[in-house]
Amino acid sequence: MILPFAVIDADGYEPIVLLGSDENGLVGLEYPSADLYALEPEDILAVVSIDPSAVFYGLRVARSEFVAPERMVANPARRRLPRFVTRGEAFPLLPEGELSGFPTAARTMRKHREQVPSLDTIRVSALFAVSTIRTSIEQAELAFECFGGFYRKHGRQMPTVQEIKTCFRGLQNSKARMFSEVADYASVIRQVLETGYQDREARSVLALDTNLPVGLGLTKLSFTLALLGHDCICLDGRLLGVLFPRKIDRVKFEDVIGKERGRVSERALLAYEKAEDTFLAGNPHYDPNDPLGRARAQWTSWEAVGGKGAEHRVWLDLLPEEEK
């Protein structure tokens, strides 16, 4: 039974004819390819009525118990994903005379790639990654330098919650909770890396098979792994501003890649990987022959958009001496 309207998919605004539902959920037929897709209710932005002719926006779509007697079954793996326009070439080069901080940091990152780092190094790297959430890099590094003073004072163990709070100007309670949960999660990262997983594969295992702590989603998990020598891309706000010129597209992407109850869906991971590929295509900073080519492209593109190099010296300085 074909229902008398089409839906417009929010992930790209292409028309989909809604056929009905099966055990996997809603089933849609893409025009003109005639490909079948399993749709999520939240993918539907609007419906187009055939009779009377009208477009209805702002819908709340829900599944019912009814299943059409004659069903066309869609492949549940073919979820709708955002359609990305290749924009790697849109990323600039660093201003003339401005040097990248990546080569300095990369010496440490490549050392981490050769051998699984200690729990201490993983903890420090993950904490630096989450310290950059919702703040400027300058403020993040000041806060992390403050944290580092307490960390050293406590013999390279976690400071008290109150001490951590004093390092941040805003969101003190949130940051303290992030630091506490991420510090505990460092042991999980180490266990996964010890099994031999690397790069995107390591991220996939951590994202899909473990409960991520507050503060570590796909973006900052990728940054953590990059600091630990894995070839992942941290698509933070600075890069997304170039990758998605329209704010609505950026907001939609960030919503798609979000986690729920500590877990990242396969759909979110696929969307993130697709955005990574879009970021790399034509990117002047990308060298596919470099084992850290993706991480390098992210680091130097991020610097170039900001107009100056960055070693993230506060992260390097807090690492154990033997692993710098």
Helices within 30-101 (DSSP H only): none
Does the residue 275 lie in any domain?
Answer: yes
107 and 16 belong to one structural domain: no
pLDDT in tens, 24-67: 566 776 655 555 666 666 666 666 665 555 555 554 544 444 33
* Same domain as 50, residue 95: no
Boundary of a domain, candidates 34, 57, 80: 57
In this structure, is residue 132 part of a structural domain? yes
Which tokens belong to 3? 């229902």
What is the total count of domains within the chain? Answer: 2
**What pLDDT does 217 receive?**
95
In a domain, residue 305? The reply is yes
Closest by alpha carbon to 44, among 4, 7, 3? 7
Closest residue by Cα to residue 221 from 204, 238, 209: 204
Q: How confident is the model at residue 249 (pLDDT cuts 50, 70, 90)?
A: confident
pLDDT of the residue at 167: 94
Domain that holds residue 18: 5-57
Q: Which residues, 6 or more positions from 93, have their beta carbon under 8 angstroms from its beta carbon?
A: 284, 285, 304
Poorest-pLDDT segment among 50-59, 71-80, 214-223, 242-251: 71-80
Is 62 part of a structural domain of the chain?
A: no
Residue 71 inside a domain? The answer is no
Residues 38 and 130 in one domain: no
pTM for this predicted structure: 0.76
Give CA–CA dist 223/298, Å, rounded. Answer: 9
Q: Which of 14, 35, 57 is the last residue of a domain?
A: 57
Residues 6+ apart with CB under 8 A from 162: none
Pick 87 or 68 by higher pLDDT.
Answer: 87
Same domain for 215 and 111? yes
Q: Which residues contact 239 (CB under 8 A, 6 or more apart)?
A: 91, 279, 298, 301, 302, 305
In a domain, 266, yes or no: yes
105/4 Cα distance (integer angstroms): 58
* 134 shares a domain with 182: yes
Tens digits of per-residue pLDDT, 184-227? 999 999 999 999 999 999 999 999 999 999 999 999 999 999 99
What would the pLDDT profile of 266-318 be if each residue is shown by its tens digit?
989 999 999 999 999 999 999 999 999 999 999 999 999 999 999 999 999 99
pLDDT tens, 131-189? 999 888 999 999 999 999 999 999 999 999 999 999 988 778 888 999 999 999 999 99
Select from 221, 209, 228, 223 the least CA-distant residue to 118.
Answer: 228
Instruction: Tell me if 68 is assigned to some domain.
Output: no
Is 34 among the domain residues?
Answer: yes
For residue 255, pLDDT over 90 is answered with: no
Concatenated DSSP letters of 160-193: -HHHHHTT-SS-HHHHHHHHHHHHHHHHHHHHHH
Residue with tokens 């001490």: 163
Provide the H-helix boundaries in the chain.
102-114, 119-131, 137-153, 161-165, 172-194, 199-209, 218-227, 237-243, 247-256, 266-280, 293-306, 313-318
